[in-house]
Structure 1
Amino acid sequence: MAVLLLGCAAPGAGGDDVQATPTSTSPSPTVVAKPAAPQAGVPNNHADNNGWKRRHELSTADQRTGQKLAARIRPRLEALREAGDFAPESTLRVLLDLGIEADAIEVTTMRTPIGPETTPPPGAVYAVRFADVGCVIGSVRPDRVMARVTGSAAEFGCLEPFSH
């Protein structure tokens, strides 16, 4: 009888009780990761809203192709800048003179600043598409010439459209 009473005692009632391990495996509670707290000043859907801006990753070969193209473009546009010619038409002419096909080129004026200014600053913005995934993008301005190799974007190609 004493054995029965001790066997039925609640765990922890006896001095030398050992916590029993259940013989059946019960599922452990599911742990759900909580999303990271939003960054201050960034809407929760920022990444989704800006997904259209994602550019293709360039392979090493495509990156080299783009660098070679940029190396051909930069000195010709630098000569144009040194001559004081920043017109988009002149930039287009230089790119065409390099043997680049017209449908691979996009040239626009510089973006008009937001505010009371109504005329764009002097200069041209250009993009040259290559290998169906890459772009050389840049600008010709009074103070510098820029040429950067990057991937194209599925939504807009090489030059990101301006939005407020």
Structure 2
Amino acid sequence: MTHLLAHGTYACGTVCSNQKIFPKDLKGQLKQVGNLLATWWRDKRAIHMLLTNASQTMEAVSRKSKGGPIDKQTPQCVEIYNKNMEGVDRQDQLRSYYSIGRKSKKWWRCCFWFLVQTAVLNSYIMYKNMPHPPHTAEPMTHFHYIGETGAI
């Protein structure tokens, strides 16, 4: 771990605290060992995080609510995680709408269909970001794009 940190490789991620291998002494508290910080935070539910790229400082952020925006204090690590994981979460969300893959007990087939679906979705994202001439109609929707490519 220290070898990766010396080369500027940092990590920030969530950890399932109900796993058998999760250390009991890290539950419900903040602990720092060298550059590794184990922390938890509760917004809607408890989130346990392990990170090496942030400190334990709090940041003021604005959150949407029914009554209008609310200013909250959140740990810096949670904001870094949310900012950088937005693309991955969006990819998972779009991929779940129109599944291309087929069920299989063979792991390599599942990997193959995942890669095909990811490639089609990435091509759709590139298509949406391309400039379209003003005289053409709106860009295709996700559903129509997948139908045009013959993916489903």
Structure richer in helix, relative to its length: 2
Structure richer in strand, relative to its length: 2
Q: TM-score range by the shorter chain?
A: under 0.3
What TM-score do you get using the length of structure 2 for normalisation?
0.23
What TM-score do you get using the length of structure 1 for normalisation?
0.21
RCO (CA 8 Å, sep 6+): is it higher in 1 or 2? 1
